[in-house]
Amino acid sequence: SQQGEEDPQALSIQEGENATMNCSYKTSINNLQWYRQNSGRGLVHLILIRSNEREKHSGRLRVTLDTSKKSSSLLITASRAADTASYFCATSGGSNYKLTFGKGTLLTVNP
Amino acid sequence: NAGVTQTPKFQVLKTGQSMTLQCAQDMNHNSMYWYRQDPGMGLRLIYYSASEGTTDKGEVPNGYNVSRLNKREFSLRLESAAPSQTSVYFCASSEATGVSPLHFGNGTRLTVT
């Protein structure tokens, strides 16, 4: 069963705008990870945030985690056409620490 | 740096045929995984290997078998392919299960007719 669910399913913005994607999950987690997938390619890891962390930054990416609401958000600032991709959240929890992926948000950045 | 290498990139099978998808990583990772990706379904874990010599079922293991041949290689076998196994298959590896990032190959696009 899917653990993380991204929202929205699709997002279209103009270059230079900020993009925010959300992820909700159902059970307690050890960590939450965000990945990017360009069309026809494998997933690329962006950020890992642990359950005891609230915010992490990497370049133009900002991830927040609210364990009380069981949700996370990924903010991409000053978006570029090259940011066009699908973005997935993945959660790790339980005794076996397997990663479970959501269905993704398709981000389109228009030049 | 090759990272995770999957072969073949594309494959067409007839129902009932068998095939093995190959995966190799050169990052000395302990854990390896096979996922399938279907439209609207996200990625679903088929099998994983937390360390050399061990394999475990994921969310959708039926119709598949795996072999962790050594620390580098993790293969996925379809014994009798079915149209429901038409999908894109991704192999991934990580230093440890669930606590470190996954590194993905570029996928194998499989069509079963």
Instruction: Tell me which residues of chain B, numbers 54 to 83, contact chain A at a CB-CB cutoff of 8 Å.
Output: 56, 58-59
pLDDT tens by residue, A49-84: 999 999 999 999 999 999 999 999 999 999 999 999
pLDDT of A94 higher than 90: no
B30–A contact, CB cutoff 8 A? no
Q: Distance of CA B80 to CAs A74, A97, B12, B74, B85, Å?
A: 41, 31, 13, 19, 10
Mean pLDDT of A22-27: 93
Q: What pLDDT sits at residue B98?
A: 77
pLDDT of A31 higher than 70: yes
Mean pLDDT of B46-67: 95
Give the mutation candidate from B43, B47, B89, B99 for the A interface (greatest A CB count, under 10 A): B43
pLDDT of A1 higher than 60: no
Q: What pLDDT sits at residue A97?
A: 67
What are the backbone dihedrals phi and psi of residue A83, each rounded to the nearest 5 degrees, phi first? Answer: -80, -10
Q: What percent of chain A has pLDDT over 70?
A: 94
Spatial separation of the C-alpha atoms in residues A48 and A35, rounded to whole Å = 9
Q: What pLDDT sits at residue A9?
A: 92
